[in-house]
Chain A
Amino acid sequence: MLPLVLDAVPEQTAELAELERAYDTYAPEMFRFLRRLGVPDAAVDDAVQDVFFVAWRRREDFQGRSSQRTWLYGIARKVARDHRRRRDRARHETPELDRLPAGSDPAAQTEAAEAARVVDAVLARMSETLRETFVLVEIEQLTAPEIVEILGVPLNTVYSRTRLARAQFRELASALLEPGSSRP
């Protein structure tokens, strides 16, 4: 991929520095969030880049009413949807490679990769709305008010979706982990 050229001018160095700081702080969790929302490993680099590129382009929209973190989550959520739609249109998917998370303990790496496979398999069976809520609550461990900012829904809706999502996840995980079922 060719280097992305940002529409920056030298006078915007301070803003670029802020973007760089945001990237250094939040890129890892954006990466994980995008993966859990179904962006394939082969496309997640581009998706992460998209998140921060959109953040740069729309920096005027960020009024500080929410935190920068939740604002980025909101962008990432839309980027993930776009990637999924694009992938669905293309009707082809690059085969997933085995994920090996960063770390030096091979056993822990293997366990984490296996857990991620199971979780992904369960998440893939959930509705988009519940999946987003579940990932934000249980994987990213955001608070309900933060999720209100990201999803733009009332607090009570977040709570009810959380309950539904947990129940659905448990039910689907039970079916998947049941002996004799075909594990992912």
Chain B
Amino acid sequence: MTPDDDELARLLSSARQADLPDRARLARIKSQLLPGGVAGVPEPSATQLAAKSALSLKVAAGLSLVVVAAVTYLQVQRPPPPAAHAPAPQTQVTPPPPSAAAPELPPVPHTSDAGQMRPALEHAGAPAAAPAPAPTRVRRRPPVQPAQPTQPAQPAQREPAPKPVVSTLSEETALLRMATLAAHAGRLTEAREALARFDRTFPNSQLKSERDRLLRYITERERVSPAR
């Protein structure tokens, strides 16, 4: 049986009436789009991140990685101080315990570790209220041997610096990473902005648990200290 024109017209007319959202739903979308309406124009400082393109975000995340890698490399490869006033050289260097004063850099979300990332709150500055991280497999950098005190490190003997993984970072990971770095640096407003963009861009992200954990961390830090 072939539907006649009238039947099709009725069908389309009825379908036209469906999916017209109710006012409450439209108002809810609007409140997310325009927080506070026109009167509630956000302050300029809160808007800079939204103006960045995806490319600039990737570049920023990549630069962060390069900086972290460079700092790590320099710290590890720094030759020991002159022997005249230096304390007795240690023959073995052990990494500081997790509770040491210098906080460890936050773990970096990595594309290949999606879903298995170490929780972003696992560092020395994390508040006690932060949830305990579940044991997970983490991509770690190769262990770095300290330079021998009596033999200045030769360039040929140096451990290769960890390669930044800029090219493998997805925008999703880069955004989350930006938020993580900003949060751990105490730039809570910036961290929230990055998270907001993450939410908008990747509503069905597989990194949602990491995002939720980071949000809890930011909230806790905001409670303890005012945002910068």
A159 at the interface (CB under 8 A from B): no
B3 adjacent to A170 (CB under 8 Å): yes
Q: Point out the residues of chain A lying under 8 angstroms from B38, CB to CB.
A: 13, 16-17, 20
Answer whether A173 and B31 are a contact pair too, CB < 8 Å, given A32-B20, A43-B203, A116-B18: no
Is A112 touching B195 in the complex (CB atoms < 8 A)? no
Q: Are B8 and A5 in contact (CB under 8 A)?
A: no
Residue in B8, B37, B192 whose Cβ sees the most chain A Cβ within 10 Å: B8
Task: Say yes or no: is B41 at the interface (Cβ < 8 Å to chain A).
Answer: yes
Known: A32-B16, A53-B200. 14 other contacts (CB 8 A): A3-B32, A3-B35, A5-B47, A9-B41, A9-B47, A27-B29, A32-B18, A45-B25, A90-B204, A101-B19, A115-B17, A170-B2, A173-B3, A179-B1
| Cβ–Cβ contact B14 & A174, under 8 A | no
Q: Check B17 against A108 for contact (C-beta < 8 Å).
A: yes
Q: Is the CB of B47 within 8 A of A115?
A: no
Chain A interface residues toward B at CB < 8 A: 1-10, 12-13, 16-17, 19-20, 23-24, 27-28, 31-32, 35-36, 43, 45-46, 48-50, 52-53, 86-87, 90, 99, 101-103, 108, 111-116, 118-120, 138-139, 141, 169-170, 173-174, 177-179
Query: Does A48 contact B2, Cβ atoms closer than 8 Å?
Result: no
Q: If A13-B38, A23-B30, A31-B19 touch, does A111 touch B1 (CB 8 Å cutoff)?
A: no
Q: Do A45 and B29 have beta carbons less than 8 Å apart? A: yes
Residues of B within 8 A of A20 (CB): 30, 34, 37-38
A61 to chain B, nearest CB (A): 15
Residues of B32-66 at the interface with A, using a CB-CB cut-off of 8 Å, are 32-35, 37-38, 41-44, 46-51
Asked whether, in the complex, the Cβ of A5 is within 8 Å of the Cβ of B50, the reply is yes
Contacts of B11 in A (CB 8 A): 115, 118-119, 173
CB distance A52 to B33 under 8 Å? yes
Tell whether B139 is near chain A: CB-to-CB under 8 Å.
no
Alpha-carbon distance A104/B43, docked complex (angstroms): 42
B29 touches A48 (CB 8 A): yes
Cβ A9 vs Cβ B44 within 8 A: yes
Q: Is the interface of B mostly helix, strand, loop or mixed?
A: helix
Report whether B44 and A4 are in contact in the complex, using a CB–CB cutoff of 8 Å. Answer: no
Q: Which residues of A contact B21 (CB under 8 A)?
A: 27-28, 31, 102
- From known contacts A1-B203, A6-B47, A177-B1, infer whether A112 and B33 are also in contact, taking CB-CB under 8 Å: no
List chain B residues, Cβ under 8 A from A115.
Answer: 10-15, 17-18
Q: In the complex, what distance in Å separates the CA atom of A173 from the CA atom of B4?
A: 11
Q: B210 near A: Cβ within 8 Å? A: no
**Which of B14, B32, B43 lies in contact with A112, CB distance below 8 A?**
B14
In the complex, the answer to whether B47 meets A8 with C-beta atoms within 8 Å is yes
> Chain B's nearest CB lies how many Å from the CB of A7?
4
Verify B17–A49 contact, CB threshold 8 A.
Answer: no
Q: A3-B35, A49-B32, A49-B200 are in contact. Are A27 and B26 (CB under 8 A)?
A: yes
A180 to B10, CA, bound (A): 21
Cα–Cα distance between A118 and B10 once the two chains are bound (Å): 12
Cα-based distance from A13 to B12 in the complex (angstroms): 40
Q: Are the C-beta atoms of A101 and B192 separated by less than 8 Å? A: no
In angstroms, Cα B12 to Cα A141, docked, is 11
